[in-house]
């Protein structure tokens, strides 16, 4: 079987590793990754094509007779990769462009939730700074001293959401987004103003083929760069899966109130959703609310989730692509897991690159630890250099969350480079 993974981060490294592991029992797997990274190069043949060069990727898949393509991130999906592959008869596990709008347009997602009665924060859409100002002054989201959330409509690589302390700060954020170039012009043509919710967050991910679905273990990520949830937002400094993230009753409610109405709504709207759906949840005193949809695995949630997968990941994604998930068993080890991200000095604002990474071999000898590369390059002497903000994701499963975390931190203690930093409080919530 020939499989192509699209992307270049820690998430894609975890996907490649899980695909390799699943194929151990006899099937011959030829694995490609476009564009990949230095660590991925150990598991897959890296193909120097951009993840959003849809036509070139489809040409490659045709030429190499790729039997299954798995898309890591949202940008290729928003660029219509699944549509082009489907047009050429190439099996692909990832939603079409129209379905990917559940992530690429926050206005589309909120209107979808409203239409299909999926619980979410109250919101208004503003197409100009003046309109946003009027809404903020109207008092719908509380008085001038109440917190309010400002979101750019489009994809903004983590920079598009501000939880403002009061109306004045919200107004400043609106101006920065719509006029100040804080996010790309197109992404902030419209903004959402949202009721600020309070509670704990959880990430619920699932595979769906448009009809059936299979839940993954619930996860929690840590978005702030600093310990105690301080400092700017990042792509994610760590993630865990553990029974405590969502108790059984809450999970049952999430399925009935959110997962099933979402999938039924997508079908009713004629959205062809095949792939991974990621539901960002807030557990408020009034019940569950959806913060956002993503149409793909999270990074680093994928790393923490996939180390618990038993069985063959290619088989699952193949069933997703071909609409046969109903016949497919998905099994997890019963334990917990954690991923601790090791980042470069300056991340997230201006990460330094080019530092030599030491201690990787000792680190990978810690039992049941897997180290995923997010931003590394190979030096001429074969050693690894840092090449991005998030550099490595040290990941482990364990019988308990404490055990998984202890393995990650023991492994991380062997790794070093000039400027390396990580959070020591992953999973402590």
By CB under 6 A, name the binding residues for ligand AMP: 121, 149, 161, 163, 194-197, 201, 280, 291-292
Number of other CB atoms surrounding residue 428 within 10 Å: 12
From the list ligand GLY, ligand AMP, none, pick the one residue 298 interacts with, judged by a Cβ distance below 5 to 8 Å according to partner type. ligand GLY
Q: Which of 119, 121, 122, 175 is nearest to 152 (CA)?
A: 175
Q: Which of the 8 DSSP states describes residue 272?
A: -
Q: Residue 247 corresponds to which tokens in the numbers above?
A: 């108790």
From the list ligand GLY, ligand AMP, none, pick the one residue 299 interacts with, judged by a Cβ distance below 5 to 8 Å according to partner type. ligand GLY
Tell me how far apart the alpha carbons of residues 141 and 136 are, in angstroms, rounded to a whole number: 7
From the list ligand GLY, ligand AMP, none, pick the one residue 194 interacts with, judged by a Cβ distance below 5 to 8 Å according to partner type. ligand AMP
From the list ligand GLY, ligand AMP, none, pick the one residue 221 interacts with, judged by a Cβ distance below 5 to 8 Å according to partner type. ligand GLY
Min dist. Cβ of residue 161 to ligand AMP (A): 4
Cβ proximity to ligand GLY: between 74 and 318 the closer is 74
Min dist. Cβ of residue 256 to ligand GLY (A): 25
Tell me how far apart the alpha carbons of residues 384 and 371 are, in angstroms, rounded to a whole number: 13
Q: Are 187 and 154 in contact (CB under 8 A)?
A: yes
From the list ligand AMP, ligand GLY, none, pick the one residue 164 interacts with, judged by a Cβ distance below 5 to 8 Å according to partner type. none
Q: Are 72 and 92 in contact (CB under 8 A)?
A: no
What's the distance, Cα to Cα, between the start and end of the chain in Å? 42
Cβ proximity to ligand AMP: between 279 and 415 the closer is 279
From the list ligand AMP, ligand GLY, none, pick the one residue 197 interacts with, judged by a Cβ distance below 5 to 8 Å according to partner type. ligand AMP
Half-sphere exposure of 317 toward its Cβ, with a 13 Å CA cutoff? 30
From the list ligand GLY, ligand AMP, none, pick the one residue 236 interacts with, judged by a Cβ distance below 5 to 8 Å according to partner type. ligand GLY
Tell me how far apart the alpha carbons of residues 365 and 362 are, in angstroms, rounded to a whole number: 5
Within 8 A by CB and 6+ apart from 391, the residues are 342, 343, 344, 357, 373, 374, 375, 376, 417, 420
Cβ proximity to ligand AMP: between 20 and 116 the closer is 116
Instruction: Please report, as ranges, the residues that interact with ligand GLY according to CB under 6 A.
Output: 221, 235-236, 294, 298-299, 301
Min dist. Cβ of residue 158 to ligand GLY (A): 7
Half-sphere exposure of 419 toward its Cβ, with a 13 Å CA cutoff? 20
Cβ proximity to ligand GLY: between 91 and 235 the closer is 235
Q: Which of 251, 243, 240 is nearest to 298 (CA)?
A: 240
Alpha-carbon torsion 254, 233, 395, 378, what sign? Answer: positive
Cβ proximity to ligand GLY: between 194 and 221 the closer is 221
Cβ proximity to ligand GLY: between 51 and 366 the closer is 51
Min dist. Cβ of residue 196 to ligand AMP (A): 4
Min dist. Cβ of residue 299 to ligand GLY (A): 5
Report the run of H or E that residue 293 belongs to, with start and end: strand 287-294
Min dist. Cβ of residue 249 to ligand GLY (A): 25
From the list ligand AMP, ligand GLY, none, pick the one residue 163 interacts with, judged by a Cβ distance below 5 to 8 Å according to partner type. ligand AMP
Please spell the DSSP secondary structure of 345-390, one letter per residue. TTTTTS----PBPB-HHHHHTSTTEEEEESSEEE-TTS-EEE-SSE
Cβ proximity to ligand GLY: between 95 and 235 the closer is 235
From the list ligand AMP, ligand GLY, none, pick the one residue 153 interacts with, judged by a Cβ distance below 5 to 8 Å according to partner type. none
SS3 133: helix
Cβ proximity to ligand GLY: between 66 and 204 the closer is 204
Min dist. Cβ of residue 419 to ligand AMP (A): 27
Cβ proximity to ligand GLY: between 83 and 299 the closer is 299
Min dist. Cβ of residue 219 to ligand GLY (A): 9
Cβ proximity to ligand GLY: between 10 and 91 the closer is 10
Report the run of H or E that residue 62 belongs to, with start and end: helix 54-63
Min dist. Cβ of residue 302 to ligand AMP (A): 16
From the list ligand GLY, ligand AMP, none, pick the one residue 218 interacts with, judged by a Cβ distance below 5 to 8 Å according to partner type. none
Min dist. Cβ of residue 298 to ligand GLY (A): 3
Q: Are 272 and 99 in contact (CB under 8 A)?
A: yes
């Amino acid at each position: 079987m020939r499989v192509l993974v699209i992307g270049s981060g820690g998430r894609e490294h975890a996907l490649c590793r899980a695909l390799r592991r699943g194929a151990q029992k006899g099937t011959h797997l030829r694995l490609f990754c476009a564009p990949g990274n230095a660590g991925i190069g150990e598991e897959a043949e890296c193909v120097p094509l951009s993840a959003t060069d849809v036509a070139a990727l489809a040409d490659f898949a045709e030429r190499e007779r790729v039997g299954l393509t798995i898309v890591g991130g949202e940008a290729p999906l928003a660029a219509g990769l699944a549509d082009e592959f489907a047009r050429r008869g190439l099996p692909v596990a990832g939603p079409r462009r129209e379905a990917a709008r559940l992530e690429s347009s926050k206005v589309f997602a909120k209107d979808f939730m409203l239409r299909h009665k999926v619980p979410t924060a109250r919101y208004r859409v503003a197409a100009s700074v003046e309109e946003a100002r009027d809404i903020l002054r109207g008092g719908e989201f509380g008085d001038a001293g109440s917190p309010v959330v400002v979101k750019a409509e489009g994809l903004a690589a983590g920079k598009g959401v501000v939880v403002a302390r009061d109306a004045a700060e919200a107004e400043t954020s609106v101006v920065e987004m719509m006029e100040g170039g804080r996010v790309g012009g197109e992404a902030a043509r419209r903004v959402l103003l949202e009721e600020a919710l309070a509670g704990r967050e959880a990430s619920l991910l699932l595979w769906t083929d448009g009809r059936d679905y299979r839940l993954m273990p619930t996860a929690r990520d840590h978005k702030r760069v600093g310990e105690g949830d301080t400092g700017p937002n990042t792509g994610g400094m760590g993630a865990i899966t553990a029974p405590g993230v969502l108790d059984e009753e809450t999970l049952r409610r999430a399925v009935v109130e959110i997962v099933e109405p979402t999938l039924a709504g997508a079908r009713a709207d004629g959205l062809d959703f095949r792939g991974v759906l990621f539901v960002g949840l807030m557990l408020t005193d009034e019940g569950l609310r959806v913060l956002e949809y993503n149409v793909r695995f999270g990074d680093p949630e994928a790393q923490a989730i996939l180390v618990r997968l038993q069985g063959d990941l290619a088989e699952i994604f193949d069933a997703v692509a071909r609409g046969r998930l109903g016949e497919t068993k998905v099994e997890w080890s019963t334990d917990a897991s954690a991923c601790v991200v090791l980042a470069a000095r300056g991340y997230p604002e201006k990460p330094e690159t080019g530092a030599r990474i030491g201690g990787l071999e000792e680190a990978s000898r810690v039992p049941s630890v897997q180290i995923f590369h997010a931003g590394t390059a190979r030096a001429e002497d074969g050693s690894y250099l840092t090449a991005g903000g998030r550099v490595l994701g040290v990941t482990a499963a364990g019988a308990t969350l404490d055990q998984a975390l202890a393995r990650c931190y023991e492994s991380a203690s062997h790794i070093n480079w000039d400027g390396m930093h990580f959070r020591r409080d992953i999973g402590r919530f």
